Amino acid sequence: MNKLIAAVVLVFVAILLLSGSVFTVNQSESAIVLKLGKIKTQENGQELVYSPGLHFKMPLADTVQIYDMRLRSLNIDSSRIVTKEQKDVKVDAYVEWKIGNIADFYKTTSGNISKADTLLSQVVEANMRDEVGKRTIQELVNNQRDELIKELITVVQKQSKKFGVEIVDARIKSIDLPSTVTESVYQRMSSNREKDASTIRANGNRLAEGIKAAADAEVTVIKATAESEAKRIKAEGEMEAAKTYVNDYSKNIKFYKFLRSMQAYNDSLTNGKDVLILKPKGKFFQYFNPTGSPSE
């Protein structure tokens, strides 16, 4: 009976020892093993980190520390920060981080997530004060927020590596201005926009005047060219008519004189409104005489 009890006790102790020597690391986790409060190391002296899977340890002597390696969010409470022009602003931000180096994380924070959040908050706030202090309110509101974030992430990443934390992302949720500052900023922005609008309108008017002047000049050139071309064509026509007149006149001068006189008689005597009292003498009436020569 005593042997049976002893065997049962031995089996129970063996089960306890076996269960105490096995531990499991889940897919999103990593672990370290502490021996007498120190992280177990490999043969080369580097800290031993256990990846997901089933692992063994020395029962009773070894303690397992398992950490979730997934992203964590840290909200940075609204704090008043002084800008370059010595104005107060309230900045709300948040940081996405995860454990990057378990050994450094344990040595710095003793594996305490809350302590890591506190350290990280201090680092982010200190660097955010420095970066915001380099800029004016207008720069923060208008176009330098992204640049501020990039510089902030770069600096915080370097400093947070000292306690085993890796910064994945950081964002500024809001930049609130005190009421006394808000009005002056809006007035300055409105003034700048009005100035830009005036500049754009002035440039538009100047461009319109230039286009109109160019169009007027082009119209003047076109009209002058057309008038010159018309005069040239008219002159050519008159010259051609004169040439035709001379050629025809030279063929039968007497007949041409007779024809021109008949046309002149027709134009002068068939008007019907005017009355001419003339003596049929002179060169104009030469064809009234039978001889066809001027009478005295």
Q: Locate tokens 């398992």: which residue?
A: 66
User: Which one has a higher pLDDT value, 205 or 277?
Assistant: 205
- What's residue 239's pLDDT? 86
State residue 17's pLDDT score. 53
Question: Does 123 have pLDDT greater than 70?
Answer: yes
Residues of the chain with CATH 3.30.479.30: 72-177
User: What residues contact 255, with CB distance under 8 A and at least 6 apart?
Assistant: none
Residue 271's pLDDT is what? 60
Q: Work out whether strand 38-39 and strand 22-25 pair parallel, antiparallel, or are unpaired.
A: unpaired
Q: What's the rounded Cα separation, in Å, for the pair 244 and 174?
A: 95
Residue 122, pLDDT > 70, answer yes
pTM for the whole structure:
0.53
What's the mean pLDDT when you consider all of the chain?
Answer: 79
pLDDT confidence band for 262 (50 / 70 / 90): confident
Query: CB neighbours (10 Å) of residue 132?
Result: 23
User: What is the structure's pLDDT at 12?
Assistant: 55
Q: Please, what CATH class does the domain formed by 72-177 belong to?
A: alpha beta
Split at pLDDT 50, 70, 90, the class of 115 is: very high
User: 3-state class of 81 per DSSP?
Assistant: strand
Say what the pLDDT of residue 21 is. 75
Nearest alpha carbon to residue 137 among 192, 185, 172, 196: 185
pLDDT band at residue 13, thresholds of 50, 70 and 90?
A: low
15: confidence class by pLDDT, cuts 50, 70, 90: low
For residue 295, pLDDT over 60 is answered with no
pLDDT at 102 exceeding the cut of 80: yes
Q: Is pLDDT larger for residue 258 or for residue 226? A: 226
Instruction: Give the model's pLDDT for residue 77.
Output: 77
Task: Return the minimum-mean-pLDDT range out of 106-115, 117-126, 174-183.
Answer: 174-183
- Rounded distance, CA 104 to CA 162, Å? 7
Closest Cα partner for 89 from 172, 3, 189? 172
Please tell me the predicted confidence (pLDDT) of residue 72.
92
Please classify residue 104 by burial: count the beta carbons closer than 10 Å to its beta carbon, then call 0-12 exposed, 13-18 middle and 19+ buried: middle
pLDDT band at 45 (very low <50, low <70, confident <90, very high): confident
Percentages helix, strand, coil for the chain (3-state, rounded to 5) are: 55, 20, 20
Distance CA 130, CA 136 (A): 12
| pLDDT tens by residue, 188-203 | 778 888 888 888 988 8
